[in-house]
Amino acid sequence: MRTSQSKLHIGIVGGGIAGVGLALDLCRHSHLSVQLFEAAPAFGEVGAGVSFGANAVRAIAGLGIAEPYRKIADQTQDPWQDIWFEWRRGEDAGYLGASLAEGVGQSSVHRADFLDALASQLPEGIAQFGKRAVSVEQDGEQARVVFTDGTEHRCDLLIAADGIKSSIRDHVLSGLGYPLVAPRFSGTCAYRGMIDSEQLRAAYRARGVDEHLIDVPQMYLGLDAHILTFPVKQGRLINVVAFISDRSRPDPTWPSDAPWVRNASQEEMLSAFDHWGDAAKVLLECIPAPTLWALHELDELPGYVHGRVGLIGDAAHAMLPHQGAGAGQGLEDAWLLARLLADPQVLDSQPQAVLAAYDAIRRPRACRVQRTSWEAGELYEMRDPVVADDEQLLGKTLAERFDWLWNHDMQSDLQEARAQLGWRASA
């Protein structure tokens, strides 16, 4: 048992949003010693706009990073500030309904901007770069991670925030006695691009398309395809993601030697949406050089924790982006772990018990978010068996289905975890 003067040594592998967010919170506490290891030579995020629901915005505030987030976040202007998305038919942009997130609406940032804002707040010496983990071992006292450069790090707790291709997930699953889980191709690909908002405004004006569709986040729905748009960079750019799903086989595969992201031609993208209406077509015509992303996900894992090693973020629950919830779930992971580890009572507890409480609380919710993210894609692409082609039911379902996700009580999660650990009500 540690004395109250000792420190808990925590290693974090992976410098994405969840890993850096966790490190930022933990390094503020004198009883914790934190090191973060990133494989790349510098912090960097792949992707464009990322959307956060009300639950994720609360997690951001709870991690103490609300101010840097507020400075770069985009929100829809009054009087549409509570709209998450308006839902429309892809064929003619006909209105189906809207989902409202009161007080938050469509809160979004450019991924790289957000990570930059977080990383700039990390104290000197916390992050080390060029550190790609290759193996993990643990004994009764410590976890040991070995990197490709031959160095190693020993710590009391090791947190893997190294993404969907995590090199540490195998250690956790094999340690628990479960089969290994690899990323799985979903059958859905996404064309991505950014458009200057004034360019899009001029193009819409020229074709007689309502400019309201630029000012408010939109989701256009169609059979086996859907398109979303929302502003980033303080409204200067419009983030566009056009999804297309191949449902011709029940177990789609992606060639093992093919990259998950590649450049695509505009012609290829336009041909996938050639039967859609002007609002969608003009939008895509403003993206001369899209990228194509093969969307992969993980099966729900039977455990996120083995001994002194735990998984957070996409390493634990990589999901489809259809609820805008993936990054938010990583932030919820980081928030709960940070609140537990920040409590000095952690020094009188077994570190493994803290991870076990995290797993018990977080895994059921994250698995449900994974599952419902897939279900959301089925709904958007007219494949939901309950809604079918009933537009009125579709609009009602879309208006209500996100409430449980956004309104989750994270304080209740913390209380439950503390009770499981037998901790006093307040430190």
**CA–CA gap between residue 320 and residue 309 (Å, rounded):** 25
CA-wise closest residue to 218 among 227, 209, 210: 227
The SS3 call for residue 427 is: coil
**CA–CA gap between residue 299 and residue 174 (Å, rounded):** 16
The SS3 call for residue 73 is: coil
Which phi and psi (to 5°) does residue 141 adopt? Answer: -110, -30
- The active-site residue, picked from 192, 308, 339, 418, is 192
> What is the H or E stretch that residue 241 is in?
strand 237-245
Structure tokens at 31: 């009883």
Yes or no: say if 333 and 12 are a contact pair by the CB < 8 Å rule: no
Yes or no: say if 95 and 220 are a contact pair by the CB < 8 Å rule: no
User: DSSP per residue over 286-344, as a string?
Assistant: T-SS-EEEEEEE-PPPS-SEETTEEE-THHHH---GGGS-HHHHHHHHHHHHHHHHHSG
User: DSSP per residue over 108-157, as a string?
Assistant: EEEHHHHHHHHHTTSPTTSEEES--EEEEEE-SS-EEEEETTS-EEEESE
Structure tokens at 326: 């993936």
**CA–CA gap between residue 95 and residue 86 (Å, rounded):** 8
DSSP state of 3: -
**CA–CA gap between residue 196 and residue 315 (Å, rounded):** 34
Per the annotation, the verdict on 192 as an active-site residue is yes
Residues annotated catalytic, as ranges: 192
